[in-house]
Amino acid sequence: MAQKSEMLKIIHDQDHAEGRESEEKEVGLIKQDAGYPESQGFPGMRKLMRPVQETEVALTRVDQHLVSISEIDPEATAQFTRLAAALIVASIKNPPLKRLLITSAHHSEGRTCVMLNLAVALSKAGKRVLVVDTDFMRPSVGRLLGMDCEIGLLEALTDKMAPEAAIMRIMPIGFDIIPTRGRFVNSTEILASADFTRFISEIDQYYDFILFDSAPLLTSSDASLLVLNTHSTIMVVRPGVTTSDQMAKAIAQLSEDSLFGVVMNRVPGGSSGG
């Protein structure tokens, strides 16, 4: 699927630094939600996941780079809103564009923060969003949101749980996450398994966008496996961390058609970003 790449600059000059309302009517596991594509057999309805777990975001515990949640930096927040809008338009023009791999060449490029800020922006645009932490080397989605969980992706797959048992809804924003609770060495065993493919297929119908966090391209082969279960890829690059040669080597592992765009993160001289 050919797509036009989007280059987005998220600016950041230092190393530290509403949920939607909809009229809903429950119908079993399906809720009525005006303004969204119809679910098959239920005109005017779309399927919504009902997670077992739900948690309230505490701003005092959220990582300071999650500006789409704290709204402390309107300029950076606007950049994520722009990226979300580009994805929404592309998903309409070039379906299917739902499952997105968020990756980078190295660690410490702000990849996970960019993904979470994007998830918030998409959710505020009224989209059903799921974040899946598939960085088994350094899982950090839960940590950045300041929350703990008892069940994550690995537990759900190992114990063959229903997907909703591992999904946590982040309130008041309203997007969902599947965290990974700790480092897992044999990631290939999980990502190449039929159970993982089936798990993702089961939850696909409940979301407009599913964002996968992955280990860096130059340090792990996980991204090459995740590409098999995603529609497109966003590459996060932080100037000063990744050289142009390293960036080229990382992008070379992706096909041109699979790359949606590159996010230049924490560019010196601006305000806070991902």
43 is a domain residue: yes
pLDDT score at 155: 93
pLDDT score at 254: 84
14 is a domain residue: yes
59 is a domain residue: yes
Closest CA to 88 of 120, 124, 132, 122: 122
pLDDT score at 51: 79
Distance of CA 113 to the CA centre of its chain: 9
Pairing of strands 129-134, 53-56: unpaired
What distance in Å separates the CA atoms of residue 72 and residue 62, rounded to the nearest whole number?
12
Tokens of 142: 């839960």
Region for residue 146 given its phi and psi (left: phi exceeds 0; alpha: psi -120 to 50; beta: otherwise): left
47 is a domain residue: yes
What is the CATH number for 51?
Answer: 3.40.50.300
What distance in Å separates the CA atoms of residue 215 and residue 107, rounded to the nearest whole number?
8
Q: By residue range, what is the domain housing residue 23?
A: 6-267
Q: What is the DSSP string of 174-241?
A: TEEEE---S--S-HHHHHTSHHHHHHHHHHHTT-SEEEEEE--TTT-SHHHHHGGG-SEEEEEE-BTT
170-197: per-residue pLDDT in tens?
999 999 999 998 888 889 999 999 999 9
pTM: 0.82
146 is a domain residue: yes
- Taking the alpha carbons at both ends of the chain, their separation in whole angstroms is 28
Closest CA to 45 of 60, 27, 70, 20: 27
273 is a domain residue: no
Mean pLDDT in runs of 10 for the chain (274 residues)?
49 36 33 41 63 86 92 92 96 93 90 96 97 94 91 93 92 94 88 94 95 92 90 91 88 85 77 50
The long-range contacts involving 79-82, CB below 8 angstroms and separated by at least 24 positions, are: 79/8, 79/9, 79/10, 79/11, 79/273, 80/10, 80/114, 80/117, 80/118, 80/120, 80/121, 80/274, 81/121, 81/124, 81/125, 82/8
Q: DSSP class of residue 95? A: S
Angle (CA) 107-212-46 rounded to 5° is 155
274 is a domain residue: no
Number of structural domains the chain divides into: 1
Q: DSSP class of residue 38? A: P
272 is a domain residue: no
CB 134 within 8 A of CB 212: yes
